[in-house]
Amino acid sequence: MLKLNYPLAHINKPLLKTFFCLLLIFIGIPSFAQKKFTISGNIKDAATGEVLIGATVRIKELSQNGAASNNYGFYSLSAPEGDYTLLISYVGYITVSRQIALHKNVALDMVLGARNDLTEVIVSAKGHNNDNVTSPEMGVEKLNMSQINNVPVLLGERDILKTISLLPGVKAASEGNTGFYVRGGASDQNLILLDEAIVYNASHLFGFFSTFNSDAIKDVSLYKGGMPAQYGGRLSSVLDIKMDEGNNKEYVVEGGIGLISSRIKLEGPIVKDKGSFMISARRTYIDAFLKASSDSTVKGSKLYFYDLNAKANYHFDDKNAIYLSGYFGKDVLGLRNTFGTNWGNATGTLRFNHVFNSKLFSNTSLVYSNYNYTIQSFLPGNDFRAVSKITDIDLKEDLQYYINSNHTLRFGVDALHHNLAPGSLTSNDSSSFNSKVIQRRYGLETAAYVSDEWHVNDKLTLLYGARLSGIFIFGPGTFSTYNADGNTLSSKTYQSGDVVKSYFYLEPRLSASYSLDDQTSLKASYNRNTQNIHILSNSNSSTPTDLYAMSSNNIKPEIADQVSTGYFRNFDENIFEFSTEVYYKWLQNQIDYKDGAQLILNQDVESQLVYGTGRAYGIEFYLKKKYGRFNGWLGYTLSRTERKFDAINNGNYFPATQDRTHDISAVGIYQLNKRWSFSSTFVYGTGNAVTYPNGKYAIGGVTTYYYSQRNANREPSNNRLDIGATLEGKQHKKYHSSWTFGIYNVYDHRNPYAITFRDSKTNPGTTEAVETSLFGRVPSVTWNFKF
C-alpha cells in the first residue's frame, strides 16, 4: 500500500474543505429568473479550416455576455431567450456579426476570414476587444504568429522563444541562447508544452535556435504568473504551444530557403472539411559551409540539426474529433573521426475531443515525450558511448463545463509517468573506460484540479481553483541518504513497484479582476506551483547534456508561491494596451551544488547537492499597440532575483545568475504598403550577475584566483538593435512568394558572452580580463514560397 503519512501534513485540510464548500455555494445558486439557452460550436479560419484559439464571441445587446474559444476552438455561451446579434472577432481577422434567434440550444460553427487588406486594418476598430482588461488572467501573453513572423532575428530564422524573450518579465539566457528566465525563475522552471507534450530541451545547436519551427506553430501562450489550475509541474512559467492542424480545404505547399537552413511544409485535407494533415520539416546546413573551409578539422566536422512536425485530425461529426500529432528533432555534431554527439526530443500526442452537450466539453490526451543524448568517442583506446534519456507517458482528462453565463468550470485529472535513465557508458575491452550504468529512476506525477471562472457582477471576475499534485517515486533501485560531507549514511534497496517516497501539495490558484470602467481594471493573483523534475547543470548556457533528476528521498519538490497585482488600461478604442504588474515570489527547496561537484555519471549525484531558498520580485511595464499600420510594443522590467544557501556565500542572499535589474525591449512593425513591411527590435539589459576574482595567488606555478562573494559583480550591460524587412512578391494565381531581409546587431555592439581571466601574454607577470563576444553585425536573407 502507498504510505502517505508525512506528505499529507502539507495539505491544509480546512482550506481544502472551505474551498470546495465555496465552490459548491457559488456554482449551486440556480437562476430562476429567466429561461436560458446556450449557443455552442467551433470557430474556424475560413480559408484553411483551422480552428481558432481565443477568438471571442459576444452578444451585442448584452455587453457582459461573452466567451472565448478554448484551445480546441470550442466556445459555449449562455443567454436568456431572445433575438440577438453575435459579434465574432479574432486578432488579424475580419469581425463577423450574425443574427440569431435563441429559443432553444443552438449549435453554431463559425468561420472568420483573415484580413489581408491594409485598409481594413485601420478602419475596423470596432472589433477590438478589451479582454486583456476584463479577463481575470494576469501575467499571461498570447502571441500571434503573424507578429512573431515579423520580428527580425538572427540569421533570419524566426523564432518563438526569441520573440518571447522580448516581453517584460522574460529574459534570454544569453546572446544567441534560447534558454529563457521568467520572473527570476531558472530555465528548467519553465513548463514548455508542444501540443501538451513536455519538451525537455527546447533548443538546437546549444541554444542558438529553438526546437519550434514557426511554420508548424499555430498559437503560443505564455503564463508568467496566475497559472490556471490545469497547468502544473514547473515553478516559473508555462509556455503552451499548439501546432497547426493543416488546411482541410485544399493542398498547400510552402517553404523557405535561407542562408543556413531551409524548410518546407505540406498540408491539405484528408477528407475535405472533415480531416486534414500537416507535415513540416526543417534542416540546417551549416556544415555545408564547413566543407568549404580550408581548415581540415573544420572541414571534417558535422554540425546540423533537423526537425519534423506532423499532425493529422479527423472530425467524425460535430461532437467527436481525433487529433494525432508528433515532433521529432535531432542535433548532430561530430569532429572528424574522433568525437560525435547527438541529442533530440521526440513527442507524440493523441487527443480525443468530445462534446457531451452544448455546455460540457471534454479533451482526453495520451502523450509521449522523450529526450535523449549520446556522446561518443571513437579514439582508439579511449572509445566509449554514453547515453542518457528521459521518457514520459502522460494521460490527461480535461473537462470544461460552461454552467451559465456567470460560471465556467474546468476540472480534470492527470497522471504522468517518468522513466529517467541518467546515464550509461559502454566501451569495448581495449578502452580505458569501464562500462557503467547509473540506475534508472521511476516516478508517477498525479494531479487533480478544479477551477471556476466566476463573473460575480459587471465589475468583478474571479478565477479561483486548486490543483492537488503529488508524486510517487517507485523502485526498483537503491536509495541512499548522505551527510553534509556527501558521504553515504544509509542505503536501502527497493523492489519494482515499491513506493520509495511520495509528496503531496495543494496548490491554490486564485486571480481576480475588478473593472473600474470599460477600459480600466485592477487585478490580483496568488498561486503556488511545485516541481519534481530538476536540471542539475552548473553552467550558464543550456547544454544538451544537462542532467535531469527527479524528486527523491533527498531532493524535495521545489515550491514557488507568487503574488502579483496589476493595473490594466486600454486607450483609444482598445488600440493601445497598457499594463503594469508587480510580483513577489518565494522559492523553497532550490538546488545548487557543492564546489567541485561531480555530476556526470555519478550514482551518488544527490550527495553533491545543497538546498536553499530564493526570492524574486519586480515591476513590469508594458505598452502595446496591437492594431494599425504601425504596431509593436515597449516593455520595461525592474527586478531582483536572489538565492540563499547555507553552504554558499556565508549563508547570505546572493543575486542569481539570471538577476537582471533593468530590462528594456522595444518592438516595432510598420506596414509601408501592400508589398513592403519593416520591423525593428531593440533590447537593453543589465549584465548577468557573475563572480569575479577579488585577488590572486600562485599554486603549482600557475596563477589562481581568489573569490570571496558569489555573483557580487556584473558583466557589462547588453544592448542591440535589429532590423528586418519583408517584400511580398506580386500576387499570382498559382503561387505566392516573399523575401525576408534582416540585419542583426545593426550598430555592431559586442555584447559579453563570457568574461575570463588569464596571465597577460603581452605584458608578462600581470593578469588581464578578457571579454568574449559572439555576434557582430549579421545580415540574412530568406526566400519564402507558397503554392
Partner 1 sequence: MQYMKFKYQLLIAAILLIVAASCQKVIDLKLNNAAPQLVIEANLTDQFGPQYVIITKSVPFTSDNIFPPVTDAEVIIADSLGYKHKLTQSNPGVYSIYPFGGISGHTYTLTVQTGGKTYTAKSTMPYPVNLDTLTTKTDVLSNKDLRTVTVNYQDPKDIANQYRFVLYINGQQAGAIFTNDDSFTNGRYVKDDLLQNGIDIHPLDTATVEMECIDKNIYEYWFSLSQQQGNGPGGGTTPANPPSNFNNNALGYFSAHTTQSKSIIVK
Residues 582-611 that bind partner 1 (CB under 8 A): 593, 595-596, 598, 600-602
627 binds partner 1 (CB under 8 A): no
Is there binding between residue 483 and partner 1 (CB under 8 A)? no
283 binds partner 1 (CB under 8 A): no
Reduced 3-state DSSP string for 181-233: EECCCCHHHEEEEECCEECCCCEEHHHCEECCCHHHEEEEEEECCCCCCCCCE
- DSSP class per residue in 253-288: EEEEEESSEEEEEEEEEEETTTEEEEEEEEEE-HHH
Q: In the complex with partner 1, which residue's Cβ is closer, 18 or 709?
A: 709
Check binding of 779 to partner 1 (CB under 8 A): no
- 718-749 exposure pattern, b = at least 16 Cβ within 10 A, e = fewer: bebbbbbbbebeeeeeeeebbebbbbbbbeee
Q: Which 285-304 positions form the footprint of partner 1 (CB under 8 A)?
A: 286, 290, 295-298, 301, 303
Nearer to partner 1 by Cβ, of 713 and 738: the residue is 713
DSSP class of residue 55?
A: -
577/592 with CB nearer partner 1: 592
> What minimum distance in Å lies between the beta carbon of 553 and partner 1?
23
Does residue 341 belong to the site contacting partner 1 (CB under 8 A)?
yes
Q: Is 487 in the site for partner 1 (CB under 8 A)?
A: no
CA separation (Å) from 339 to 244, 335, 383, 606? 37, 5, 9, 29
- The x, y and z cell numbers of residue 696, run together, are 590572486
Q: What's the closest the beta carbon of residue 206 comes to partner 1, in angstroms?
A: 6
> Distance between CA atoms of 673 and 118, rounded to whole angstroms?
8
Ranges within 119-178 binding partner 1 (CB under 8 A)? 176
Indicate the SS3 state at residue 298. helix
Smallest gap, in angstroms, from Cβ of residue 340 to partner 1?
9
Question: What is residue 131's three-state secondary structure?
Answer: helix
Vertex 118 angle, CA 94 and 623, to 5°: 80
Are the beta carbons of 590 and 580 closer than 8 angstroms?
A: no
Give the whole-angstrom CA distance, residue 779 versus residue 777: 7
Q: Does 776 bind partner 1 (CB under 8 A)?
A: yes
Residue 707 touching partner 1 (CB under 8 A): yes
- 145 backbone dihedrals φ, ψ, rounded to 5°: -60, -35
Does position 388 interact with partner 1 (CB under 8 A)? The reply is no
Residues 309-328 that bind partner 1 (CB under 8 A): none
State which of positions 647-686 bind partner 1 (CB under 8 A).
657
Span of 242-250, 387-395, 447-455, 535-543 interacting with partner 1 by CB under 8 A: 535-543
Question: Hey, what long-range contacts does 768-773 have (CB within 8 A, 24 or more apart)?
Answer: 769/692, 771/716, 773/175
Residue 226 and residue 216 in contact, taking contact as beta carbons nearer than 8 Å = no
Q: Which of 16, 419, 773, 786 binds partner 1 (CB under 8 A)?
A: 773
Which one of the spans 51-59, 189-197, 212-220, 424-432 is the region binding partner 1 (CB under 8 A)? 424-432
**CA 72, 78, 81 angle in degrees (round to 5)?**
145
Q: Is 535 in the site for partner 1 (CB under 8 A)?
A: no
Our finding on whether 694 is near partner 1 (CB under 8 A) is: yes
Binders of partner 1 among residues 432 to 461 (CB under 8 A) are 432-434, 436
Shortest spacing between CB 704 and partner 1, in angstroms: 7
Euclidean distance between CA atoms 409 and 451, whole angstroms: 6
Which CB, 65 or 431, lies closer to partner 1?
431
Contact 239, 271 (CB under 8 A): no
Judged by beta carbon, residue 251 or residue 757, the one nearer partner 1 is 757
Q: Which residues contact 24 (CB under 8 A, 6 or more apart)?
A: none
Please identify which residue in 63, 481, 553, 772 interacts with partner 1, judged by CB under 8 A. Answer: 772
**113 or 776: CB nearest partner 1:** 776
Tell me which residues in 740-769 interact with partner 1 (CB under 8 A): 750, 753-757, 759-760, 765-769
In the list 14, 28, 497, 701, the residue contacting partner 1 (rule: CB under 8 A) is: 701
Give the span between the Cα atoms of 317 and 323, in whole angstroms. Answer: 13
Q: Which grid coordinates belong to 344?
A: 533530440
Tell me how far, at minimum, the Cβ of 286 lies from partner 1, in Å.
7
Instruction: Give me the least distance between CB of 339 and partner 1, in Å please.
Output: 5
Q: How far is the CB of 177 from partner 1 (least distance, A)?
A: 10
Q: How many residues belong to the chain?
A: 787
Task: Give residues 201-240 in contact with partner 1 (rule: CB under 8 A).
Answer: 205-206, 208
Residue 433 CA to residue 382 CA, distance in Å, equals 7
Among 425, 506, 549, 725, binds partner 1 (CB under 8 A): 425
- Site membership for partner 1, residue 547 (CB under 8 A): no
Select the residue interacting with partner 1 from 64, 130, 426, 543 (CB under 8 A). 543
Q: Please report which helix (H) or strand (E) contains residue 630, including its range.
A: strand 630-645
Q: How far is the CB of 536 from partner 1 (least distance, A)?
A: 12
Q: According to the binding rule CB under 8 A, does residue 698 interact with partner 1?
A: yes
Compare residues 70 and 657 and give the one whose CB is closer to partner 1: 657
Does the footprint of partner 1 cover residue 699 (CB under 8 A)? Answer: yes
| Helix (H/G/I), strand (E/B), else coil: 19 | helix
Q: How far is the CB of 696 from partner 1 (least distance, A)?
A: 6
Rule CB under 8 A: is residue 488 a binding residue for partner 1? no
| Site for partner 1 contains 706 (CB under 8 A) | yes
Count of chain residues binding partner 1 (CB under 8 A): 90
Amino acid at 250: E
Q: Which DSSP helix (H) or strand (E) runs through 122? A: helix 118-123
User: Within 10 Å of residue 80's Cβ, how many Cβ atoms?
Assistant: 15
- Residue from 352, 368, 636, 692 binding partner 1 (CB under 8 A): 692
- What letter would DSSP give residue 717? P
Tell me the Cα Rg of the chain: 27
